[in-house]
């Protein structure tokens, strides 16, 4: 499986699959673990990203932001819950997943988590103990520990982790603080690359951004995260419609929340999607802070549809090293841009591409 942090051959994933192989599938909840080997059809799996597709017989549900009702809900109904920590999403997200798993259990239910002992396993075990009263290591394999707990759930401790939220102050994009949660990009402060892109665009006029003086009517924020670039665009061009495309489902919920907070929800539409959707709509401007860890194929797939959306139109990317985006824009888009240049800004490079006139 290509999605980050999910590999069905990982020794920790194999430990988890063995641990719950005999649990009746309808009573098993996989919390953002990806599919586990050896399970029968009928398992429920929570996912964080549209790219996590259901495997045979699974029921995939989005891991949603907990509502007030969910936060005060009565005990869960599952006999067992499994958590596979996704290191790139942060420890706070692993704690949220453990809390989600613990709260989903019926009294006497089992919580399982596998982690490398030398990569934070100890602190996850401490969090399980805090929420479930105790924890033990029930198996080991190639540096991984399989942690297990069955006990009385300390709901307050679990709810604290499940309800973790952040507020970011980013006057460049919105007067209102931006809401964020574990599991998304951009939790404590506006990303430096995003600041560099928006700082530059703030300082120049439409002619330098789009080659003419008209405000754009349709703007795309590709790989929008919790929406800072979309919010900035809505503030700068109050009559523009902004499409914010993002694959992380929690981040999509936050784009909607942050748009409401900033009073621009009529302008911004959040779309949970793996890259641009199949059917293009005329767009004047695309802005993106693309995922830095994306491989060449993945980045190529994100860029390939651009000429169909931006004809004519402009795209701006903020990157650490421009070579790869420049080369992919040249090789993977058809037609390739009629104008392509790179602008150095402190700490980053801005790649500007134009299609059409």
> Site residues (CB under 6 A) for ligand SAM?
185-186, 191, 194, 223-225, 228-229, 245-248, 251, 274-275, 289, 291, 302
Closest residue to ligand SAM using C-beta atoms: 225
Within 10 angstroms of residue 159's Cβ, the number of other Cβ atoms is 20
* Residue 49 C-beta: closest distance to ligand SAM, Å: 7
Q: Tell me the C-alpha to C-alpha distance, in Å, between residue 194 and each of 79, 178, 276.
A: 44, 14, 20
Query: Could you tell me whether strands 348-355 and 218-222 are parallel, antiparallel, or unpaired per DSSP bridges?
Result: unpaired
Minimum distance between the CB of residue 228 and ligand SAM, rounded to whole angstroms? 5
Between 292 and 330, name the residue whose CB sits nearer to ligand SAM: 292
Give dist(CA 72, CA 57) in Å, integer.
31
Specify the residue, 150 or 301, whose C-beta has the smaller distance to ligand SAM: 301
User: Residue 184 or 209: which CB sits closer to ligand SAM?
Assistant: 184
Bridge partner residues of 149 (DSSP): 111
Contact 244, 267 (CB under 8 A): no
Identify each DSSP E strand in the chain by its residue range: 28-31, 44-47, 59-62, 78-83, 105-116, 136-141, 144-149, 166-168, 178-180, 218-222, 241-246, 268-272, 285-288, 313-319, 339-345, 348-355
Contact 161, 167 (CB under 8 A): no
Smallest separation (angstroms) from ligand SAM to the CB of 305: 11
Alpha-carbon gap, residue 180 to 251, rounded angstroms: 8
| Choice between 206 and 274, CB closer to ligand SAM | 274
> Minimum distance from CB of 124 to ligand SAM (Å)?
23
3-state helix, strand, coil in the chain (%, to 5): 35, 25, 40
Q: Rounded to whole angstroms, how far apart are CA atoms 247 and 185?
A: 11
| Minimum gap (Å) between residue 230 Cβ and ligand SAM | 8
Q: Which residue, 275 or 337, has its beta carbon nearer to ligand SAM?
A: 275
In the bound state with ligand SAM, the residue whose beta carbon lies nearer, of 248 and 267, is 248
Q: How far is the CB of 287 from ligand SAM (least distance, A)?
A: 8
Name the maximum alpha-carbon separation found in the chain.
67
Q: Which of 331, 13, 308 is nearest to 141 (CA)?
A: 13
Report, in Å, the least distance between residue 246 CB and ligand SAM.
5
Phi/psi class of residue 71: alpha, beta or left (left: φ > 0; alpha: ψ in -120 to 50)? alpha
Contact 317, 325 (CB under 8 A): yes
**Minimum distance from CB of 223 to ligand SAM (Å)?**
3
Q: Shortest distance, CB of residue 192 to ligand SAM, whole angstroms? A: 10
């Amino acid at each position: 499986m290509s999605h980050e942090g999910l590999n069905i051959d990982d020794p920790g994933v194999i430990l988890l699959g063995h641990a719950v192989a005999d649990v009746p599938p309808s009573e098993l909840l996989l919390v953002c673990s990806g599919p586990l080997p050896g399970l029968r059809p009928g398992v429920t799996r929570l996912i964080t990203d549209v790219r996590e597709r259901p495997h045979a017989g699974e029921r995939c549900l989005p891991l949603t932001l907990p509502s007030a009702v969910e936060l005060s809900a009565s005990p869960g109904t599952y006999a067992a819950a499994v958590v596979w920590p996704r290191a790139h999403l942060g420890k706070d997200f692993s704690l949220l997943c453990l809390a989600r798993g613990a709260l989903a259990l019926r009294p006497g239910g089992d919580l399982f988590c596998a982690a490398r002992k030398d990569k934070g396993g100890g602190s996850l075990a401490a969090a399980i103990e805090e929420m479930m009263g105790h924890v033990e290591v029930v198996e080991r394999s190639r540096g991984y520990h399989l942690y297990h707990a069955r006990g009385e759930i300390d709901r307050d401790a679990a709810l604290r982790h499940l309800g973790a939220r952040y507020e970011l102050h980013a006057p460049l994009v919105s007067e209102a603080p931006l809401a964020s949660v574990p599991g998304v990009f951009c939790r404590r402060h506006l990303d430096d690359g995003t600041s560099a892109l928006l700082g530059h665009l703030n300082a120049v006029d439409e002619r330098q951004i789009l080659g003419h003086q008209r405000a754009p009517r349709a703007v795309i924020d590709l790989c929008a995260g919790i929406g800072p670039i979309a919010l900035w665009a809505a503030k700068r061009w109050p009559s523009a419609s902004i499409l914010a495309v993002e694959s992380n489902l929690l981040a999509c919920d936050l784009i909607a929340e942050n748009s409401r907070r900033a009073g621009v929800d009529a302008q911004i539409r959040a779309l949970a999607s793996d890259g641009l959707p199949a059917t293009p709509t005329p767009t004047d401007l695309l802005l993106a802070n693309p995922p830095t860890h994306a491989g060449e194929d993945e980045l190529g797939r994100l860029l390939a549809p651009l000429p169909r959306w931006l004809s004519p139109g402009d795209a701006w990317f903020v990157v650490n090293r421009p070579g790869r985006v420049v080369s992919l824009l040249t090789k993977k888009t058809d037609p390739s841009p009629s104008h392509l240049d790179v602008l150095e800004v402190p700490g980053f490079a801005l790649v500007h591409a134009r299609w059409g006139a």
